[in-house]
């Protein structure tokens, strides 16, 4: 089987976040076929992207002048790949420009199209309000999703939103993105954990609230700072660790403005291989996002045995059962987020019990091999013209 993917995830070629390239190599091997990725990106002369090619995987960047160039260039490269080796299936990473490219290629090749929705583009009002262009993107999603042969979403709420758009129930499959949770579940390297403690000045026994990720607007880090200000007021020995590159933002300045400059630790960019040891410092993992398609950091934290507190966004609600595997709090409410964090820190026995239940649930329901098999199974069914969902 030859799958043509249309995407925008430049980490396939930069490797700046995690093992994305290895994941796609694994997909191709398990499908016993080939994957060709047309990667829509805006050309940056100072940092050009180099195509990648192996026996099973091809990643070809468009190096476009701008967004308007994505569609003609993506279609041209897709057709060139189809001429070189006929494709069996097209997948689009999002219901926006990549979906439009996919629809054009479907018309030209007469091959079926899966459109993916990795976030909450239909169900979340916060996405639509985040910036003016998102309203246009929301309209575009409402145009493309019903026209796909099948739709992949990451959570149950987004599936219901697609049904409300008129997408047939048999065509919308909930398949979470593969997250390699095994390294987080494995026993940590004591030396790595000790190195993190020394680097961040966190003596053994320090209550640690951890957040990891990219400080994009929907993650709502300012709200987490507001919540932690309340936590620190009640528990002065607590520390907040923010893992990830926050350059280009004012998060450090905001932490200082809240009086948290001395009790907030910033790790800077963290290599994926160093994350499991960082999670082991945490007394609680706190997610403050307005919306999430999945919340992969929650899976990593749960695999590492860290208690979970999150806003009740779409993705978190598929992982956390309130009071059983963690705490869910209203979106945008720093008081409730702080209250739940303090509940974890003040009641360690109950917190460990919730963390153990979350660990068991995540290891059973988000096993990478199972999710990979479900995703590749969807490819095969759609390519064969069968109902896409299991």
pLDDT tens digits, 149-180: 999 999 999 999 999 999 999 999 999 999 99
The whole-angstrom separation of Cα 44 and Cα 146 is 34
Would the pLDDT of 16 be above 70?
A: no
390 within a domain of the structure (yes/no): no
- Per-residue model confidence (pLDDT) at position 20: 82
User: Per the domain annotation, does 27 fall within a domain?
Assistant: yes
Are 218 and 284 part of one and the same domain? yes
**Residue 291 to residue 381: CA distance in whole angstroms:** 30
Q: How confident is the model at residue 15 (pLDDT cuts 50, 70, 90)?
A: low
Beta-sheet strand order (sheet of 284-287): 264-266, 239-243, 208-212, 284-287, 308-311, 327-329
pLDDT digits (tens, 9 = 90+) for 227-239: 999 999 999 999 9
pLDDT of residue 362: 98
Q: Is residue 105 part of a domain?
A: yes
Q: What is the mean pLDDT of the chain?
A: 95
Query: Is the domain of 18 the same as that of 133?
Result: yes
pLDDT beyond 60 at 17: no
Residue 303 confidence class, pLDDT cut points 50, 70, 90: very high
pLDDT-derived band at 11 (thresholds 50, 70, 90) equals confident
- 3 state SS for the chain: CEEEEEECCCHHHHCCCCCHHHHHHHHHHHCCCEEEEEECCECCCCCCCCCEECCCEEEEECCECCHHHHHHHHHHHHHHHHHHCCCCEEEECCCCHHHHHHHHHHHHHCCCEEEEECCCCCCCHHHHHHCHHHHHHHHHHHHHHHHCCEEEECCHHHHHHHHHCCCCHHHEEECCCCCCCHHHHCCCCHHHHHHHHHHHCCCCCCCEEEEECCCCHHHCHHHHHHHHHHHHHHCCCCEEEEEECCCCCCHHHHHHHCCCCCCEEECECCCHHHHHHHHCCCCEEEECCCCCCCCHHHHHHHHCCCCEEEECCHHHHCCCCECCCEEEECCCCHHHHHHHHHHHHHCHHHHHHHHHHHHHHHHHHCCHHHHHHHHHHHHHHHHHCCCCCC
pLDDT tier at 116, thresholds 50, 70, 90: very high
21/197: higher pLDDT: 197
pLDDT in tens, 199-232: 999 999 999 999 999 999 999 999 999 999 999 9
Least confident of 14-28, 239-253, 314-328: 14-28
Report if residue 188 sits inside a domain. yes
Quote the pLDDT of residue 47: 85
Q: Which two tokens stand for residue 238?
A: 């607590």
Are residues 171 and 256 both part of a single domain? no
Do residues 377 and 308 both lie within one domain? no
Task: Judge contact between 376 and 383, C-beta under 8 A.
Answer: no
Please check whether residue 309 lies inside any domain of the structure.
yes
The pLDDT > 90 percentage for the chain reads 93
Residue-wise over 152-165: b if at least 16 C-beta within 10 A, else e?
bbbbebbbebbeee
Residues 6+ apart with CB under 8 A from 82: 4, 105, 109
Q: Are residues 33 and 147 located together in one domain of the fold?
A: yes
**Residue 389 domain flag:** no
Q: Is residue 225 part of a domain?
A: yes
pLDDT at 77 over 70: yes
Number of structural domains (the chain) is 2
Q: Are 205 and 267 part of one and the same domain?
A: yes
C-alpha neighbours within 13 Å on the C-beta side of residue 93: 14
Encoded tokens for 103: 């629809």
Q: How much is the average pLDDT of 135-139? A: 94
Same domain, residue pair 16 and 103:
yes
Considering the domain architecture, whether residues 170 and 219 belong to the same structural domain is answered as no
Q: What is the pLDDT of residue 173?
A: 98
Task: Tell me, yes or no, whether 66 and 109 share the same domain.
Answer: yes
pLDDT for the residue 193: 97
What value does the mean pLDDT take over residues 92-109? 98
**Model confidence band, residue 23 (pLDDT cutoffs 50, 70, 90):** confident
Q: List, in order, residues 6 or more apart from 296 with CB less than 8 Å away.
A: 177, 179
Q: Which pLDDT score, from 0 to 100, does residue 18 have?
A: 57
The answer to the question of residue 280 being in a domain is: yes
Give the pLDDT confidence score for residue 390 in this predicted structure: 82
The whole-number average pLDDT for the span 119-143 is: 94
pTM: 0.93
Same domain flag for 33 and 50: yes
Are 317 and 263 in a shared domain? yes
pLDDT band at 52 (very low <50, low <70, confident <90, very high): very high
Q: Looking at residue 84, which CATH number applies to its domain? A: 3.40.50.2000
Burial category of 170 from C-beta neighbours within 10 Å (exposed 0-12, middle 13-18, buried 19 and up): exposed
* Residue numbers of the domain that contains 358: 182-365
Q: Which residues pair with 89 in a beta bridge?
A: 3
Please tell me whether residues 10 and 75 are part of one structural domain.
yes
């Amino acid at each position: 089987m030859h799958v043509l993917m249309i995407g925008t995830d430049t980490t396939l070629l930069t490797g700046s976040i995690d093992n994305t390239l290895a994941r796609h190599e694994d997909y191709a091997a398990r499908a016993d076929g080939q994957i060709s990725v047309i990667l829509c990106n805006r050309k940056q002369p100072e940092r050009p992207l180099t195509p990648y090619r192996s026996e099973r995987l091809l990643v070809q960047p468009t190096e476009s002048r701008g967004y308007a160039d994505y569609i003609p260039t993506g279609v041209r490269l897709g057709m060139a790949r189809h001429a070189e080796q006929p494709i069996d299936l097209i997948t689009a990473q999002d219901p926006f420009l990549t979906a439009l490219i996919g629809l054009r290629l479907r018309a030209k090749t007469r091959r079926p199209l899966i459109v993916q929705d990795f976030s909450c583009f239909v169900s979340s009002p916060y996405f639509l309000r985040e910036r003016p262009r998102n309203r246009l993107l929301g309209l575009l999603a409402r145009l493309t999703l019903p026209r796909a042969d099948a739709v992949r979403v990451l959570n149950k709420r987004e599936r219901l939103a697609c049904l409300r758009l008129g997408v047939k129930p048999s065509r919308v499959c909930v398949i979470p993105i593969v997250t390699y949770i095994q390294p987080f579940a494995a026993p940590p390297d004591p030396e790595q954990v000790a190195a993190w403690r020394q680097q961040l000045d966190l003596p053994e026994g320090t209550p640690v609230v951890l957040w990891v990720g990219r400080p994009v607007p929907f993650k709502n880090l300012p709200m987490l700072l507001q919540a932690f200000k309340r936590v620190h007021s009640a528990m002065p020995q607590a520390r907040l660790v923010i893992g990830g590159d926050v350059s280009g933002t004012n998060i450090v300045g905001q932490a200082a403005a809240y009086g948290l400059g001395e009790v907030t630790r910033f790790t800077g960019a963290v290599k994926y291989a160093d994350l499991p040891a960082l999670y082991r410092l945490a007394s609680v993992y706190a997610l403050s996002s307005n919306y999430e398609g999945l919340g992969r950091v929650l899976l990593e934290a749960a695999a590492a045995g860290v208690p979970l507190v999150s806003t009740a966004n779409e993705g978190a609600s598929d992982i956390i059962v309130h009071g059983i595997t963690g705490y869910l709090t209203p979106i945008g409410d720093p008081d409730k987020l702080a209250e739940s964090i303090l509940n974890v820190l003040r009641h360690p026995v109950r917190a460990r019990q919730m963390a153990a239940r979350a660990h068991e649930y995540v290891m059973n329901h988000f096993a990478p091999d199972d999710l990979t098999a479900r995703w590749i199974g969807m490819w095969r069914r759609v390519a064969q013209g069968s109902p896409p969902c299991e």
